[in-house]
Amino acid sequence: MGAIYGLIGMGMNLIFNSTGGLNIAQGALVTLGAYAGVTFTVFLKLPVVPAAILTIAAMAIVGSIFGYLIYEPVRFAVPTRFMLAALGAGIFITEMAQIVWGPIPFVVPRFIRQSSLRFGNLVFDTQNLLILSVLLVVVAIIYMLLNKTQIGLMMRAVGQSKEVSALMGIPVRTIIRYTFALSTALATVAGVMAGPIFFVTPSLAVLMSKGFAAAVIGGFGRNVHGVIIGGFIAGVVEVFAAFFISSSYRDAWGFAFLILFLLVRPRGLFGEAAGEKA
Amino acid sequence: MLTIDGINVAYGKVQVLHDLSLNVKENEIVTIIGSNGAGKTTTLNAIMGALKPTKGKIDFLGKRMDQLDSNKIVASGISIVPEGRRVFPDFSVYENLLTGACVRRMHGTKLAEVENDIKRMYELFPRLKERHSQKAWSLSGGEQQMLAIARSLVSRPKLLLLDEPSLGLAPVLVREVFDIIKTINKDGTTILLVEQNANMALEHSDRAYVIESGKIVVEGPADELRHSEKVKKAYLGG
């Protein structure tokens, strides 16, 4: 669970760094990504790997179009305009998903048939191990992309100052569109991974709030690992509270922890402090 | 090299530049002096494509530039050191220098070639070499100014625009920065400078323009302007 929250939070963090606004539609994009996965695997009956590649590629294009239609018209306005535009777009996407794929939840088959692996006395669910492995690969890819490539350098530069980036000749609008594509690809990976755990329904969009919690706990900013750790913390708190206190209020415990966390450390575990020298 | 011909530039409904014309010849150092709000920075922003003129045109090396995006303008050989340094605070010195070469990298320049240019910058600014991995926010004002100049030079500009390079610097650093500007010019880069420290700017320039309320009101050789009574009274402290 924590890995999925972390992936969603990572996408939100990327957009926050580039635009200064929260993409409230990230949950809707998770839903759309999960439905796209269902379409390629269940309806078109493609094998898992090509289906995953096609789903992520198609959703990256959707993300780029989302950035063009939803962010660009309000890019000079205060960030809350983008948040409101994203809220509206998120509702639209979720409702459209219900119209296109219907209200009945889809059951996505497990990616690995064998259900568990035993290491001595320890038994691991293969689906969870797969999610963890995918998360590690995705984190490594994102880290390399942001820190070792030219496009990553430009994404981080735009995150610090769009105005100066433009003066340096960085094509800011194009870079932001790439960031939306990348963020939506992350939402899609989360949606596809969540498919076999939850049913695929429009209500998957509520995972946005868990991704947000992961980003708040880890700290919005230019770190990659912080949000992932935040996701795991959010997941662990939920599971423990559900187990030891009450499972009926599983989500409530998670948010109670988030509020407590905001009171104690509002910039998150790894977020940058305000008020830098330059 | 650069010709600005009768441009009007506005922020929304407020017109800031009125029929402004100026030119810069190859290998010159040209200064625009003027008081706060006269339109100096707006002129540089218009050259860089951040603001589009509503009238007139800007030519660079015979090619019209005034409706192009900034990345195309940088690619054609113009680079800017923005007012207040504006380095990327969370980037190291090295990463800041790499951002100066983004346009070249997008046009296929190899990283090794850019790193050679960064080595040359470290020879020109040895203090930056010492601070190679240090975050830009932790540098002093003078070091940030050197970084901002070096970052612009990594793009290999033919024309370098400098917006108030002396702003906020101690007098000893101001002289150092102007000496560096002179060295860059001697190495073949044309300079267009915007400066409130008129004395220092005129001392280091070939020609100068005086701008008031978005219009050029005086122009001529820098030496001549230094001795002009009007300029002395308005900008050189009497």
Domains of chain A: total: 1
Instruction: Determine the average pLDDT of the residues in B6-20.
Output: 91
Whether A49 shows a pLDDT value over 90: the answer reads: no
Dist CA A70 CA A261 (whole Å):
31
CA distance A166 to chain B (A): 6
Instruction: Determine the average pLDDT of the residues in B55-69.
Output: 93
Task: Locate B225 and state its tokens.
Answer: 């302007």
Q: Which of chain A's residues have a Cβ under 8 Å away from the Cβ of B48?
A: 167
Assign B74 to helix, strand or coil.
Answer: helix
Does B105 touch chain A if contact means CB atoms closer than 8 Å?
A: yes
Instruction: Determine the average pLDDT of the residues in B43-51.
Output: 93
Q: Which of chain A's residues have a Cβ under 8 Å away from the Cβ of B91?
A: 156-157, 160
**Count of Cβ atoms closer than 10 Å to residue A69 Cβ:** 11
Q: Which of chain B's residues have a Cβ under 8 Å away from the Cβ of A175?
A: none
Q: What is the pLDDT of residues B160-203, one digit of tens each?
A: 999 988 887 888 888 888 888 999 999 899 999 998 888 888 88
CATH number of the domain that B68 lies in?
3.40.50.300
ipTM confidence: 0.86
Dist CA B99 CA A192 (whole Å):
36
**Count of Cβ atoms closer than 10 Å to residue A240 Cβ:** 12
Does B148 touch chain A if contact means CB atoms closer than 8 Å?
A: no
Q: Which of B88, B92, B167, B194 to mutate to test the interface with A (most CBs of A within 10 A)?
A: B88
Q: What is the pLDDT of residues A197-221, one digit of tens each?
A: 778 888 888 888 888 888 888 888 7
What pLDDT does A276 receive? 42
Does B131 touch chain A if contact means CB atoms closer than 8 Å?
A: no
Dist CA A111 CA A189 (whole Å):
13
Q: Which of residues 69-98 of B touch A (CB under 8 A)?
A: 69-71, 73-75, 80, 82, 85-91, 95, 98
What pLDDT does A277 receive? 40
Judged by average pLDDT, the poorest of A107-121, B33-47, B122-136 is A107-121
Task: Locate A256 and state its tokens.
Answer: 């109670």
Report which listed range, A182-186, A271-275, B124-128, is most confident: A182-186
Assign B191 to helix, strand or coil.
Answer: strand
Q: Which of chain A's residues have a Cβ under 8 Å away from the Cβ of B87?
A: 278
Q: Could you tell me which residues come within 8 angstroms of residue A141 by beta carbon, excluding any fewer than 6 positions away?
A: none
CA B103 to chain centre: 18
- Per-residue pLDDT band for A275 (boundaries 50, 70, 90) equals very low
> Does a structural domain hold residue A9?
yes
Task: Give the number of beta-carbon pairs within 8 Å between A and B.
Answer: 72
Domains of chain B: total: 1
Cβ–Cβ < 8 Å for B81, B149 = yes
> Does a structural domain hold residue A180?
yes
What pLDDT does A114 receive? 73
What pLDDT does A202 receive? 87
Between B171 and B109, residue with greater pLDDT = B109
Task: Locate A185 and state its tokens.
Answer: 């690809």
Provide the mean pLDDT of chain A.
Answer: 87
Which domain does B76 fall in, by range? Answer: 2-235
| Residue B112 DSSP code | H
What pLDDT does B236 receive? 63
- Searching chain A, which residue's CA lies closest to the CA of residue B70? A169
- Per-residue pLDDT band for A104 (boundaries 50, 70, 90) equals confident
Judge: B89–A154 Cβ closer than 8 Å, yes or no: no
> Does a structural domain hold residue A128?
yes
- Residues B180, B184, B188: CA angle, nearest 5 degrees: 165
What pLDDT does B141 receive? 86
What pLDDT does A123 receive? 84
Task: Of A84, A65, A68, give the one whose Cα is nearest residue A23.
Answer: A84
Whether A160 shows a pLDDT value over 70: the answer reads: yes
Instruction: Determine the average pLDDT of the residues in B100-126.
Output: 92
What pLDDT does B29 receive? 94
Cβ–Cβ < 8 Å for A73, A82 = no
**Shortest CB distance from A276 goes to which of B74, B85, B89?**
B89
Task: Locate B34 and state its tokens.
Answer: 């003027």
**Count of Cβ atoms closer than 10 Å to residue A155 Cβ:** 23
Task: Locate B25 and state its tokens.
Answer: 């010849």
> Does a structural domain hold residue A166?
yes
Q: What is the pLDDT of residues A62-93, one digit of tens each?
A: 999 999 999 999 988 888 999 999 999 999 99
Q: Which of B86, B139, B154, B162 to mutate to test the interface with A (most CBs of A within 10 A)?
A: B86
Whether B113 shows a pLDDT value over 90: the answer reads: yes
What pLDDT does B20 receive? 94
Report which listed range, A45-49, A253-257, A269-273, B15-19, is most confident: B15-19
Cβ–Cβ < 8 Å for B128, B143 = yes
> Does a structural domain hold residue A151?
yes
| Residue A273 DSSP code | P
Helices marked H in A67-171:
79-101, 126-148, 150-160, 162-167
Residue B1 corresponds to which amino acid?
M
Which domain does A82 fall in, by range? Answer: 2-111+124-201
Provide the mean pLDDT of chain B.
Answer: 90
- Per-residue pLDDT band for A222 (boundaries 50, 70, 90) equals low
B88-to-A102, B23, B153, B165, B173 alpha-carbon distances in Å: 48, 31, 16, 17, 21
Q: Could you tell me which residues come within 8 angstroms of residue B223 by beta carbon, excluding any fewer than 6 positions away?
A: B202
**Shortest CB distance from A276 goes to which of B70, B82, B137?**
B137
A66-to-A18, A71, A73, A134 alpha-carbon distances in Å: 15, 7, 11, 25
| Residue A45 DSSP code | -
Q: Could you tell me which residues come within 8 angstroms of residue A38 by beta carbon, excluding any fewer than 6 positions away?
A: A101, A106, A108, A195, A200
Whether A168 shows a pLDDT value over 60: the answer reads: yes
Whether A152 shows a pLDDT value over 60: the answer reads: yes
Dist CA A9 CA A183 (whole Å):
9
Counted residue by residue, chain B has a size of: 238
Instruction: Determine the average pLDDT of the residues in A119-133.
Output: 84
Whether B237 shows a pLDDT value over 80: the answer reads: no
Instruction: Determine the average pLDDT of the residues in A215-234.
Output: 83
Whether B150 shows a pLDDT value over 80: the answer reads: yes
Whether A273 shows a pLDDT value over 60: the answer reads: no
Between B94 and A160, residue with greater pLDDT = B94
Q: Name the β-bridge partners of B11.
A: B14
Dist CA A24 CA A18 (whole Å):
15
What pLDDT does B82 receive? 92
Dist CA B189 CA B175 (whole Å):
19
What pLDDT does B235 receive? 67
Residue B197 corresponds to which amino acid?
N
Dist CA A37 CA A31 (whole Å):
10
Task: Of A229, A252, A227, give the one whose Cα is nearest residue A241.
Answer: A252
- Rounded (10°) CA dihedral B69, B73, B75, B76: 140
Instruction: Determine the average pLDDT of the residues in B139-158.
Output: 92
Cβ–Cβ < 8 Å for A34, A206 = no
Percent of chain B with pLDDT over 90: 63
**Count of Cβ atoms closer than 10 Å to residue A39 Cβ:** 18
Cβ–Cβ < 8 Å for A135, A141 = no
Dist CA B189 CA B159 (whole Å):
6
What pLDDT does B13 receive? 85
